[in-house]
Amino acid sequence: MELKDLGQLLQISLPQDGISRWKGILEEVIPGSIVIQGANVSNGKDIQEFIKKVQLIYDDIGIPDSRKPLIGITHEGGWISRIHDISNSPGNMALAATGSTEYTYSTYRAMGQELSSLGIDWNLAPTVDLNTNPENPIIGVRSFGDNPAEVSKHAKAACKGLRDAGLLACAKHFPGHGDTQRDSHLELPAVNKKLTEMSRTDLVPYVDLIKDGVDSIMISHIFYPDIGGDSKPIPASLSERVVGRLLRSQMGFDGLVVTDSLSMSAVAENFPAEQATKMAIKAGVDILECAKPEYYMEIFHSLQDSVKSREISANRIEKSLERFNSLKNILSVRKSSYFPWPKSILENVTSASVNASITILGKGKLDVGAIKKAGSLNSVFFTRSRLLEEEFSARKTSPVTEIIKSWGHETHTNLVLPRNLPEERIRENVQLLSSKLNAGDFLAVFLNDSTAYSQSGIEVPPQIRFINELFPYFGNRLIAIGTGTPYEASLLPGDMPYISAYSFEQPSLSAAIGVLSGAIPPLGRVPVRI
């Protein structure tokens, strides 16, 4: 092992402010893998251009093929979709709602094939967290549900789909991010579950995936006091008790372990780069993932210094390099042996899984006939997250306006509102809708994770308060459509219909309106307890 090999243990994202800095970073670090971020790409052509530029830099500096980076991406489908012009998954909770692991397998197989054809080697998916906390702001519909056995079955199907498409998979976020009320991108969450309980719940999918030969596992930045037993809050990603003892010794995983991004606030704001680097490697982690150049350069130099000073042994580094090279060999065999599905199959797989996921909840009866006869079908669309709020709020037209028209409905009013609507704007928009819409017009309100994004100190989430104030004006002409988790269904007026689409992506929105139109049967079943 030489110092120049240490970059192979880094998984980095390249700066998004142009390629002027890329050559210097790649020449110095020679990273083992590069993760393409959403800001780098939005379509397949962007992916190919990105990879071509990286390839040209490596050819220019004379790096041999054996040390060229694996190209990774975090493309789960649904909420976490980096590329929008390929066959996409509607998201894990939607796939679980179909009630069939065959949909999960075929959807991940189709999605994986398209990623592979663009030059992707490693998809940092699937998410196998059990979403057991309705207020979870970061997992939600990225989860297959809250039943350990069902999540396990779908997780295995997803990994097999990616495998059969010639890709590497990565199960995440060990030991579980599904019971948090905080986002580890922003702070260090703590989950006070006992290991005995975890063994019956969150760890079940990992036990099964390890037996099934999962390619890699990503470690979360969650503090588990009972598992870690540390005297101060230490994220799982830096904890020897979690990685070395639990995952490797007790659960028997000797494969590749990668951290969630070390530039996330859960780590970066609590541990200097030098300390985080040493702790992660000593804990038993193999690959240090980081999205920010200023931080991963510190990590790289810290790793070099620690090896030079022998604080981290050469044997320890060799073991991680061995695991990484083994993974690359697996990938080579996989890419050379898989057979591609025809384009027509890819498209059919996606639409079939989306249509089969749409779920009707609640006691309210959906009167399709009345909707068809109505003067118009109108909408209110709530934004998904803090990251998209400005973008959606600035739109002049709702993302569902054209979809409603495509299903043959007239539509007059389609509003876009932020998820945490202030009290004065609730009343303002209720009055606007009640005055603009005619008697007989229907109104569909597209909610999104209203329970996860509720404001501190407010018992009833803003989106639900909005529904409650609208209901006296519209009654059974008011329909709620969920584009996130379906927990909010229990908060709605008892005789109001609720349709769960599980996603705000266009295919899922279209399928939900197709259900309103009577053209698509709502066959889904909810995969979490409401």
pLDDT at 386: 47
Reported as a pLDDT band with limits 50, 70 and 90, residue 39 is low
pLDDT at residue 441 tops 90? yes
Reported as a pLDDT band with limits 50, 70 and 90, residue 422 is confident
H/E element holding 174? Answer: strand 171-174
358-516, CATH topology level: Rossmann fold (3.40.50)
> What is the domain partition of the chain in residue ranges?
8-337, 358-516
Reported as a pLDDT band with limits 50, 70 and 90, residue 390 is very low
Distance between CA atoms of residues 29 and 21, nearest Å: 12
Three-state SS string over 307-322 comes to HHCCCCCHHHHHHHHH
More confident: 421 or 74: 74
Q: Could you report the per-residue pLDDT of 160-177, keeping only the tens digit for each?
A: 999 999 999 999 999 999
Reported as a pLDDT band with limits 50, 70 and 90, residue 231 is low
pLDDT at 229: 65
Distance between CA atoms of residues 129 and 217, nearest Å: 12
pLDDT at residue 230 tops 70? no
pLDDT at 396: 57
Q: Could you report the per-residue pLDDT of 118-129, keeping only the tens digit for each?
A: 999 999 999 999
- pLDDT (average), residues 86-102: 96
pLDDT at 397: 73
pLDDT at 388: 43
pLDDT at 410: 95
Reported as a pLDDT band with limits 50, 70 and 90, residue 268 is very high
* 354 SS3 class: helix
State the burial class of residue 19 (Cβ atoms within 10 Å of its Cβ: 0-12, 13-18, 19+). middle
Residues 88-127 as b/e (b if ≥16 CB within 10 A, e otherwise) read: bbbbbbbbbbbebbebbbbbbbbbbbbbbebbbbbbbbbb
pLDDT at 221: 96
- The reply to whether 358-516 shares the fold of 8-337 is no
Catalytic residues: 185, 260
Distance between CA atoms of residues 211 and 38, nearest Å: 32
Q: Could you report the per-residue pLDDT of 289-328, keeping only the tens digit for each?
A: 998 888 999 999 999 999 999 999 999 999 999 999 999 9
pLDDT at 31: 97
Please report, in angstroms and rounded to a whole number, the separation of the first and last CA atoms in the chain. Answer: 53
- pLDDT (average), residues 487-510: 92
pLDDT at residue 527 tops 90? yes
Please name which of 354, 290, 323 lies closest in space to residue 500, comparing C-alpha atoms.
Answer: 354
pLDDT at residue 391 tops 80? no
Q: Check if the beta carbon of residue 161 is closer than 8 Å to that of residue 122.
A: no
pLDDT at 454: 54
Q: E strands along 250-357, which residues?
A: 256-259, 288-290
Report the share of the chain in percent with pLDDT over 90.
Answer: 75
CATH-assigned architecture of domain 8-337: Alpha-Beta Barrel (3.20)
pLDDT at residue 84 tops 90? no
Q: Could you report the per-residue pLDDT of 202-224, keeping only the tens digit for each?
A: 999 999 999 999 999 999 999 99
pLDDT at 137: 84
Question: For residue 29, what are its two tokens?
Answer: 């670090």
| Least confident residue range of 49-53, 100-104, 145-149, 205-209 | 49-53
More confident: 207 or 4: 207
pLDDT at residue 19 tops 70? yes
pLDDT at 494: 77
Q: What is the mean pLDDT of the chain?
A: 91
Residue type, 18: G
